[in-house]
A and B are shown apart, each in its own frame.
Chain A
Amino acid sequence: EAQVTQNPRYLITVTGKKLTVTCSQNMNHEYMSWYRQDPGLGLRQIYYSMNVEVTDKGDVPEGYKVSRKEKRNFPLILESPSPNQTSLYFCASSTSGGWTEAFFGQGTRLTVV
């Protein structure tokens, strides 16, 4: 089954404690991205990757890092989480960015206290 898998689904952490949210897709997609969703603000892109070892900032990259060492994986790293990063996070993949449909993971609800 074609899917994008995120882990964990729910996470509560404390300010400053580094964390990683994993994302994996099994569709051999080149394009992957991370979004955060906040009430009243919709989905905003954090980072994206057009292929292995190619990543770039989206609209709200501050406080986040990503890496793309393998085609299937695109982890999101919060080196020092802060309460304003409390949000619902989604990973997405597609064959070619906005040119084709995107497949989304089920989301990670992160709470930073």
Chain B
Amino acid sequence: SQQGEEDPQALSIQEGENATMNCSYKTSINNLQWYRQNSGRGLVHLILIRSNEREKHSGRLRVTLDTSKKSSSLLITASRAADTASYFCATSRPGNTGKLIFGQGTTLQVKP
């Protein structure tokens, strides 16, 4: 069963603008990860945030985690056309075998 749900399903912005994607999940987690997928290609890991962390940065990426609301957000600042892709959150649950459970993703289009 899918754990994470991304919102919005699709997002279209102009180059230079910021893009925010949200992920909600249902059960306790060990960590939450964000991945990017260019059309039809493999997923690329972006960032991992552990359940005891609230915010993490990596370059133009900023991820927040609110375990009380069971939600996370991914912010891409100063977006570029090359950021056009689908973005997925994935959760890892305590006591689980360690597998990742993916949401259905947000499709981001950045217009030049």
Q: A-side interface residues toward B, CB under 8 Å? A: 4, 31, 33, 35, 40-45, 48, 50, 56, 58-59, 88, 90, 92, 96-107, 109
Contact = CB atoms under 8 A, between A and B. Distances in A.
B91 to A, nearest CB: 8
Nearest to A43: B102
Nearest to B102: A43
B45 A103 contact: yes
Contact of B88 (A43, A50, A100, A106): A43
User: Which 5 pairs, one residue from A and one from B, show the smallest C-beta to C-beta distance?
Assistant: A97-B98, A98-B92, A104-B42, A101-B45, A42-B104
Given A42-B105, A43-B88, A99 B1 contact: no
A4 B43 CA distance: 11
Contacts of A40: 104
B98 A99 contact: yes
